[in-house]
Amino acid sequence: MRQGPLVSIIILNYNGKHLLGVCLDSVIAQTYENLEVIVVDNGSADASVEFVRNNYPKVKVIANTANLGYVKAANQGIAYSHGEFLVVLNNDTRADASWIEHLVRTARTDPAIGICASKQLNFFEPAVIDSTGIQFFRGGYARDRGKHEKDCGQYDLKEEIFGAPGASAFYRRAMLDDIGVFDEDYFAYCEEFDLSFRAQLLGWKCIFVPEAVIYHMSGRTRAASDERFLVFYVERNRLFTIIKNYPVRLFLLNWPFLLKYEFDILMRFLKKGEKEVMSARFDALRHLSGMLAKRFAIQRRRKASIAMIRQHIDRERRHP
């Protein structure tokens, strides 16, 4: 597609030189041509920056001298970019050639569409789903819709959903100007859950686009080698998201499920001695005043009714 608005693809990288070739080759091969490609490198020690500059001269590079974290690096790329639409893309991905074309075509059908989610498939097992969007549950947590399921066409309906996974989320810049970018207190993980929640509260839509296919090497990032890092930030940032975004009435309607989640976490701590789940809660308390100030700013601008928000909340599955 030759005509159309500029799309900025922001690829975040930390010691991912071995991944960048596959990712960048698929981005450059897009049928949608009006692209700006930016690599934000978080102080890699594996010559990632030199690899990009030597092999992809048209790709813009932001070379940080230290690891700023996923969130700050993403915001850095957003501020540097110029596109009417933008994607924050993981480096461990490979996109179908028409990926961006399908996303842009969908987003342009309705100015209220602020986010689009792709069909993410497992890079190594393409018949297996990695994510078809963010699911939001009554216990106040998010999961990837369809993860680990065999792709049998069960998610081939273009539909409105809660949010898009961070590995390949597509955003309208006008929405980010309205709701704000990623919250840098998160550092890493759940930042897309928070951003999707804020988008819903302010009346923006997220659409799942099944024709937009991307393959994700899930688990090839830092979390694969440091499970404690993941647990701490996921648990702490989940609490940040609840404190900031839950309207009081929604909290009152869901408190039994929120309480059950906390009980389950306590049992997990007692059985496994996983201290990160508790230290995450102490750290959330340490940031409480700042999160409450953000809550005030978010809630006073809320446009969506509780009924509108609840239609995107899923019931927890019962395990056999």
pLDDT tens string for the chain (320 positions)?
567 999 999 999 999 999 999 999 999 999 999 999 999 999 999 999 999 999 999 999 999 999 999 999 999 999 999 999 999 999 999 999 999 999 999 999 999 999 999 999 999 999 999 999 999 999 999 999 999 999 999 999 999 999 999 999 999 999 999 999 999 999 989 999 999 999 999 999 999 999 999 999 986 555 444 788 899 999 999 999 999 999 999 999 999 999 999 999 888 888 888 889 999 999 999 999 999 999 999 999 999 999 999 999 988 765 43
> Structure tokens of 195?
């951003």
CATH of the domain at 186: 3.90.550.10
Q: Specify the number of domains making up the chain.
A: 2
Considering the domain architecture, whether residues 15 and 133 belong to the same structural domain is answered as yes
Considering the domain architecture, whether residues 251 and 274 belong to the same structural domain is answered as yes
On whether the pTM is more than 0.85, the answer is yes
Q: Which residues contact 298 (CB under 8 A, 6 or more apart)?
A: 198, 201, 244, 245
Considering the domain architecture, whether residues 188 and 61 belong to the same structural domain is answered as yes
In a domain, 319, yes or no: no
Considering the domain architecture, whether residues 19 and 139 belong to the same structural domain is answered as yes
Where in the sequence is the domain holding 25, given as residue range(s)? 7-222
Considering the domain architecture, whether residues 11 and 113 belong to the same structural domain is answered as yes
Question: Which phi and psi (to 5°) does residue 250 adopt?
Answer: -65, -40
In angstroms, rounded to a whole number, what is the distance separating the alpha carbons of residues 287 and 300? 20
In a domain, 320, yes or no: no
